Amino acid sequence: MALWDYSFLPLAIFYWPRRFKGVISEYCIGAVNGSWSDKRWLWLLSPSIPLTFTLSIAAFAVTGQWLCLLFAPFIIHAVIPILDIAFGEDFSNPPESAVENLNKDLFYRIMVWLYVPFQLIGTVYGAWLASTQSLDWYVYIALILTVGSINGIGIGTAHELGHKQESLDRWLSKLALAPSMYGHFFVEHNRGHHKRVATPEDPASARMGESFWSFLPRTVWGSLISAWNLERERLARKGKGVWSIQNENLQAWSLGIIFYGALIIWLGWPALIFLVLQGIYAASMLEVVNYVEHYGLLRQKENGEYVRCAPEHSWNSNHIVGNILLYHLQRHSDHHAHPTRRYQALRHFDEAPQLPGGYASMITLAYFPPLWFALMDQRVVRHYAGDMSKINLQPSAKQRIIHDWGNK
């Protein structure tokens, strides 16, 4: 297909924002004026992510234009940061009188549920394409990035579902983790990370002076060991062994094994290679978000115990577009202070440290340590008013950091 056959795309890209401009603008004006809006219909954009990324795979299959497979990383690393700047931030909070109705409204739960089937469809389609078609190496990598992006954001969906008490939500959380084979996140995040967040003992809390590439192996291995130990201890208290069917790590991993096994039986061993590679990329997307969320922050000790987690112990972002697409994950301060609070009711707190951009822009910067350090280290020091003893410092860089920042 010739290049001019895609001449409709600029029109589509131009028309879509104009079509929804009224809805989004009305919300943004309310946000600027400090009035709260439930953004109800905008939440439809969240489960649209795996659907549109899957359609980009279909576009490649139909047209043969491999650049279609760069749609997902282009949206994540370019379009969303630009839209975050264009539409700005929302500091408004839902009134407490509205929270009960928000929590009871089934619509918001459905918006999260919908992500999972679209996610699985996209993964199966991508695995089929990778296993049955002869792809150039760069096309294969682009396909990994697309499917890995679907499942990386899918881990964020699993995060929202896994915090809930309803059995359906919890099992959907485990299912959303199956394509990335990161099922232990269900245990470690809820019972490990939330207990140890913003402390040196937490493998998922990054330290000031620690690059993402140093953080990645530490958090992957540390989280895995932590999840296994947490379940072993919980089951021991019930008089059960670690290999019990009640082990939630084994439950989540079993769903991944079944999912991978079914695709291998259908498509052969090439499917395993593709699934493993996209799963690695998906897990790295989760971990780069973890890196951003608590970088350098530290809970202080009182009477030998860490103080209760508060909004000041997580980096927050109120950028509208990113929050809509990620189920308000960027209002991370309120999430950690109140873990069971549903995403539609999460709040902004003035005392929470604010990221200079949304998650999409920040994870891109995190891949380049010099840029990240130049942007974020000064914000960490400023948050603690220059008191270096209150910062979670990377041990190997501690002396250098104190020398560089201690007298500023």
Neighbours of 199 (CB within 10 A): 18
Handedness of CA 300, 302, 306, 309 (dihedral sign): negative
CA dihedral 174, 176, 179, 184 (to 10 degrees): -40
Task: Give which of 59, 78, 62 is closest to 9, Cα–Cα.
Answer: 59
Half-sphere exposure for 79 (CA within 13 Å, toward CB): 10
Q: Which two tokens stand for residue 163?
A: 């915090």
Handedness of CA 110, 113, 117, 118 (dihedral sign): positive
Query: What does the pLDDT profile of the chain (408 residues) look like in tens digits?
Result: 443 343 333 334 334 444 444 445 455 444 445 577 788 889 999 999 999 999 999 999 999 999 999 999 999 999 999 999 999 999 988 988 888 888 889 999 999 999 999 999 999 999 999 999 999 999 999 999 999 999 999 999 999 999 998 999 999 999 999 999 999 999 999 999 999 999 999 999 999 999 999 999 999 999 999 999 999 999 999 999 999 999 999 999 999 999 999 999 999 999 999 999 999 999 999 999 999 999 999 999 999 999 999 999 999 999 999 999 988 888 988 899 888 888 888 999 899 999 999 999 999 999 999 999 999 999 999 999 999 999 999 999 999 999 999 766
State the Cα–Cα distance between residues 336 and 334, nearest whole angstrom. 5
Backbone φ and ψ for 247, nearest 5 degrees, come out as -70, 115
State the Cα–Cα distance between residues 164 and 100, nearest whole angstrom. 15
State the Cα–Cα distance between residues 217 and 222, nearest whole angstrom. 8
State the Cα–Cα distance between residues 279 and 19, nearest whole angstrom. 36
State the Cα–Cα distance between residues 376 and 405, nearest whole angstrom. 13
Kindly give, in sequence order, each residue whose CB lies less than 8 Å from that of residue 286, ignoring residues fewer than 6 positions away: 152, 155, 156, 180, 182, 185
